[in-house]
Amino acid sequence: MGSVMSYFDVFRRHEKQESERRVRANDRPFNLSYHYANNAIKTSKYNIITFLPLNLFEQFRRLANAYFLFLIILELIPQVSTLFWYAMAVPLILVLSITGVKDANDDINRHKCDRQVNNRTVDILMDGELRSEKWMNVQVGDIIKLESNEFVTADLLLLSSSEPLNLVYVETAELDGETNLKVKQALTVTGGLADSIEALASFKGEVRCEPPNNRLDKFKGTLTVDGQMYSLDNDKIFGFLATMCTILTIGNAIWEFREGSVFTVFLPREPGINTTLSSFLTFWSYVILLNAVVPISLYVSVELIRLVNSFFIDWDRKLYYSKKDTPAQARTTTLNEELGQIKYIFSDKTGTLTQNIMTFNKCSINGKAYGDLYDFSGQRVQITEKTEKVDFSWNQLADPSFVFHDHSLLETVRQGNPEVQAFFRLLALCHTVMPEEKKEGELNYQAQSPDEGALVTAARNFGFVFRSRTPETITIMEMDRKVVYELLAVLDFNNVRKRMSVIVRSPEGKLILFCKGADTIIYERLHPSSNELMEVTNKHLNEYAGDGLRTLVLAYKDLDESYMKNWSQRHQDASVAMDDREERLHELYEEIEKDLILLGATAVEDKLQDGVPQTIEQLTKADIKIWMLTGDKQETAENIGYSCNMLREGMTDVFTMSANTAEGVREELQSARRKMCPEAADKPTVIEARGGLFWLQKTKTVQDEKVDGEYGLIINGHSLAFALEKNLELELLRTACMCQTVICCRVTPLQKAQVVQLVKKYKQAVTLAIGDGANDVSMIKASHIGVGISGQEGMQAVLSSDFSFAQFPYLQRLLLVHGRWSYIRMCKFLEYFFFKNFAFTLVQFWYAFFCGFSAQTLYDDWFIICYNMIYTALPIIGLGIFDRDVNSHWSFQYPQLYVPGQLNMFFSKKGFATCIMHSAYCSLILFFIPWAAIHDTVRDDGKDIADYHSFAVLVQTCLLFVMTAQVRYRMRKEPLPAPAPHRPRPRRVSTRRSSYAFSHSQGYGDLVTSEKFLLKQPVRSRPSLFTQTDSSLAENQPQHFRTITEESEEPQSP
């Protein structure tokens, strides 16, 4: 890349509220007067002195650790202690030590990273010469020199570059997860400084900008040079324990009152100790003695099982995508069992259900449709791989991978049809694509949006080749003739405008505005002369919608020279404004984008990922409700819904909500609800309850209502905005949850999160959100479990997720196999763990009735320590890691096996009560049978056969034998349900219309006008994770989407 001269500013949080920041180049005294933070980076939490106190403080903030510390303190009180202090201290110290070592290792790594970053060197311009300094010593306002492939450890303003056009290419993976190179360009006023040390040393520019904020994609500021201003952008178990202790304390008080006085002759009380105080101290003694109800080993065992189950997900070869060398990844270890309890799935569409690889499929130009083939009788011919393709060999710059079958379109272009040529000219000019041409004629387009790349490639093959761009020009080849257009303005896309425009001047001096966007948006801005053409184009859009294609409408407008001059001046003033910049620009865009002339429409295909319909059908059989939340048009989303089997022709009804008023939305929701459940009450029943530790957590639940039949619900963005209001949200929730499938169209990222939060708040069900783009991050974070797909839209979704993989169909195996196994394993583990500890504790409880409620322990001290850590730990941990009631193939064959997890049937309140009663029964057997066997027994010589210690050893041995036998009992197999009847997938023909606005992020037009470009980094090859090439996995053949009976049975664990 060469050297880069940069102007530096570090953003840090100020103690005082700031409204503006001022920074001057080459003026350290001025910048130091503002007391800006230094450039040293610190991410570590501890140092040698603070590690022990801070780490212990962090660990004892956890309730479990604080509870066990409290028990140890009680054990140190002689009047209360019933065990040796080490009986509790050894397990706690072990847990604290393991956690402390892990935290120390993590913090040591953070220290190493901090030192590595802070000690990197960079050249700083000081006193007219370059000096090598550490990044931590760089000051605000310093001018620095960067070389190619150097790390950037500060916020920089580019002054000049050694590259042509003052370009630099920056990777921002550590900020936003994107590995593609972002193109930045210096302002023209500073680009002339080049690498002249004298010129840079005398540079006296001043930046005024907004204070630090969390908006990475936006920056408001101005650079003043020589007086000219330029714009810059850019729980209840404790209650059970307390109850037992209270009962025994009352027993102690009664015994002391009735019988205790007899024993005071042999064992006098300490001075000041009476019956009441003795009972009080006995309560705390029993708290210590019976603490095994919730042993500290429980937390260690649970985390170990979760960790290993997470590794199983990482290691699953059937979740590995060989085409991109992408394995599945469990990014958290605390949610595995919740994967087996999912009731609602919220999914994005583009890139999640579809491949997000766009191909130019059809188009409508000046009222004529292109792309379909017809036979001599006028019937449409199905296009297959054997269908003859259009020959683009005449075009030396054509993309060889581009495929099109309608020869008539190419013939019309080459005949010089003005409308068709204007159509492709618009596609070649109106975009934010960046070209890369390493060799003459070898063009590679880098597009932020796959749609834009497909459209520019189509124009390229039909003779309108986009070759290069500068901040002021766009160069294209029009039918082998080089034409340079002057670029006057880019009217950028955003989620409100749903369109983008460019204003160019042709070589003949003609001013033209080219615009493309969603059909409804463009139609509102057309000149009346285009009404007739609009009706014809509408019919073509309806046909494209039936095929599930994504559409854009194209239009243009000739501009007057005098008007454009006035508009450009106002545009410049708005661009450098510090206040209301976006609002002022929006008004200018609205003003000029009127009276457009319609050219036609494009249709781009985004194919479904392989196996998506089968996956959704399987998840539906598992009684999982799937909601699709997408920013696409209603018709496009609806057709994709049918294509991927979310909506089915066999459904009883599919309701569409499209009202434009709150009252209209209410009436539509109520009408749909009454049709699905006529006997339902008008007002929803909200059940309020309390839960959590000490019942401090308030919950509200709206119960599910029974519905006969399968229903679907489609609601568009403006209707959803009304439905999410406080007075309508419960109406939306009731109606939507009665439906098997819900599709929300034209929704914003915020609305996606609001929908998820609404279901979480009132349904008390486990939710999962899955997406692949930055617009899905809010939805992923709002749900209980977030799944990111590493697709075409970067890594933002993956970085925010709990689990990630490469393809949506892998969700089937993640839930039905890994999720279900993890849930059942954890339930069996917890059931057994509480069973063995309740039995262990209740034996001690029964013994209290035979020792005068004196809090004397029955067990040996070391037996108490080893019972949970050694004797009963390994069998149940093994079961929690390796148990499989059925293998993966049966899980796919019978998706109904997933339903018990949604209802939490394996560890419910009823199951917990059964576990307590079972353990109470076993404890009675374990205590009273040994007691009866040796009670009042004597030898021939009249001496006792057994003493207290012999009885304790006998009870301990019986306890261990029974607990170990219970592990084998809990590994029994569950019966399989009857198979669900096969439901053939119906074919569907639709005339619903589809339309699509841009999918790329807002701001890429600004990147062009502010001399900033986009260039993708070459893909780095990685060694394949699996080298075997003769397996279906290596060839990326479908794994679990085949009929189960066609696959061989996996060996089943005993």
- HEC readout, 918-966: HHHHHHHHHHHHHHHHHCCCECCCCCECCCHHHHHHHHHHHHHHHHHHH
Retrieve residue 381's tokens: 């011919």
Q: Give the DSSP letter string of 505-571.
A: E-TT--EEEEEEE-HHHHHTTB-GGGHHHHHHHHHHHHHHHHTT-EEEEEEEEEE-HHHHHHHHHHH
Which amino acid does the sequence have at 850?
F
Residue 560's Cβ-side half-sphere holds a number of Cα atoms within 13 Å equal to 5
Helix, strand, or coil (residue 495): coil
Which amino acid does the sequence have at 70?
F
Retrieve residue 955's tokens: 């009870």
Q: Give dist(CA 474, CA 471) in Å, integer.
A: 8
Q: Give dist(CA 430, CA 1040) in Å, integer.
A: 43
- HEC readout, 252-285: HHHHHHHHHHHHCCCCCCCCCCCHHHHHHHHHHH
Residue found under tokens 């034998």: 961
Is the separation of the CB atoms in 996 and 451 below 8 Å?
yes
- Residues with Cβ within 8 Å of 508's Cβ and at least 6 positions away in sequence, in order, are none
Nearest to 316 by CA among 336, 296, 291, 341: 336
Retrieve residue 491's tokens: 């009217």
Cα 785 versus chain centre, distance: 8
Q: Give dist(CA 20, CA 508) in Å, integer.
A: 45
- Taking CA atoms, 789 is separated from 335, 772, 776, in Å, by 18, 5, 10
Nearest to 292 by CA among 877, 741, 868: 868
Retrieve residue 414's tokens: 């080459």
- Residues with Cβ within 8 Å of 202's Cβ and at least 6 positions away in sequence, in order, are 26
Q: Give dist(CA 968, CA 972) in Å, integer.
A: 7
- Residues with Cβ within 8 Å of 896's Cβ and at least 6 positions away in sequence, in order, are 621, 622, 623, 977, 980
Phi-psi region of 26 (alpha: psi -120 to 50; beta: other; left: phi over 0): left
Cα 642 versus chain centre, distance: 25
Q: Give dist(CA 122, CA 513) in Å, integer.
A: 45
Phi first, then psi, for residue 185 (nearest 5°) are -140, 140
Q: Give dist(CA 166, CA 184) in Å, integer.
A: 8
Q: Give the DSSP letter string of 173-218.
A: HHHHS--SEEEEE--HHHHTTTT-HHHHHT---EEEEPPP-S-TT-
Q: Give dist(CA 889, CA 897) in Å, integer.
A: 12
DSSP-derived pairing of the beta strands 181-185 and 167-171:
antiparallel
Q: Give dist(CA 641, CA 646) in Å, integer.
A: 5
Which amino acid does the sequence have at 274?
N
Residues catalogued as catalytic: 348
Which amino acid does the sequence have at 538?
N
Residue found under tokens 């105080």: 277
Q: Give dist(CA 179, CA 612) in Å, integer.
A: 28
- Residues with Cβ within 8 Å of 67's Cβ and at least 6 positions away in sequence, in order, are 294
Is the separation of the CB atoms in 783 and 769 below 8 Å?
yes
* Residues constituting the chain: 1054
Q: Which residues pair with 158 in a beta bridge?
A: 6
